[in-house]
Amino acid sequence: MISGLVWDFGGPVLLTPFELVSIGERNLGLPAGTFTWRGPFEPAADPQWQAFQRGDINEREYWAIQAQKFAEVTGRSPDMASMMAPFYAGDEEEIVRPGAPELIGDAKAAGIRVGMHTNDLTSFHNREWIDRMSILKEFDVVVEGRTDGLYKPDPEAYLLMVKRMGMEPSDIVFIDDQPVNIEGARSIGMVCVHLDPTNPEAGFIEARRLLGLEPR
């Protein structure tokens, strides 16, 4: 019986940097179109994204490449948090994906335990930003790759999450925007939902169905 819901954070809960690129350019005082990476929204124009999707590089390596380009354009540090700061400088309601807080709240109201399984929260965002995000307080359980030393899609990372959730893998609905991470979760028996940032509503509908929650 499904009794748990586990989220990837960046993508399913937060809007992706691809969706916030114009905001970041404006905050930096740069012309529109300065940053050409588009990820899933225009994969044919993003060779590094294609390499990530093929498995030639991982997601952290993808963003490390973009951070280096960011530093060359802006003169800022190439570390990930410095790059992400101008894209995620807005108020919480501007950067959290519509529908995610409602699904989290509805799941908790139904007695479903809610966890967050992220690889890079503390790499992508500084402590001040993390502390101001009230949605992070909604998660009962957290596994964070940088802190815990286990990264998706390593099966051991999911097994750690299952242990912290205190339930069987088949009791958990897992939501992620990356197919490779979905494959990792499915390999240990978790029930998986791919939330495609180009069509997130379909993922929310499927998650609600699996959790036995009413559609919104």
Q: Where are the domains of the chain?
A: 4-15+95-211, 17-84
pTM (global) more than 0.85: yes
Question: What does each of the 216 residues of the chain score in pLDDT, given as a tens digit?
Answer: 899 999 999 999 999 999 999 999 999 999 999 999 999 999 999 999 999 999 999 999 999 999 999 999 999 999 999 999 999 999 999 999 999 999 999 999 999 999 999 999 999 999 999 999 999 999 999 999 999 999 999 999 999 999 999 999 999 999 999 999 999 999 999 999 999 999 999 999 999 999 999 988
The CATH code of the domain at 4-15+95-211 is 3.40.50.1000
Tokens found for residue 149 = 């030393």
Backbone angles phi, psi at 203, to 5 degrees: -65, -40
DSSP result, 145-178 = HHHHS--TT-HHHHHHHHHHHTS-GGGEEEEES-
Cα–Cα distance, 61 to 51 (Å, whole number): 10
pLDDT value of position 1: 87
Tokens 């908790």, residue located:
108
Given a contact cutoff of 8 angstroms between Cβ atoms, the answer to whether 18 and 40 are in contact is yes
pLDDT value of position 216: 83
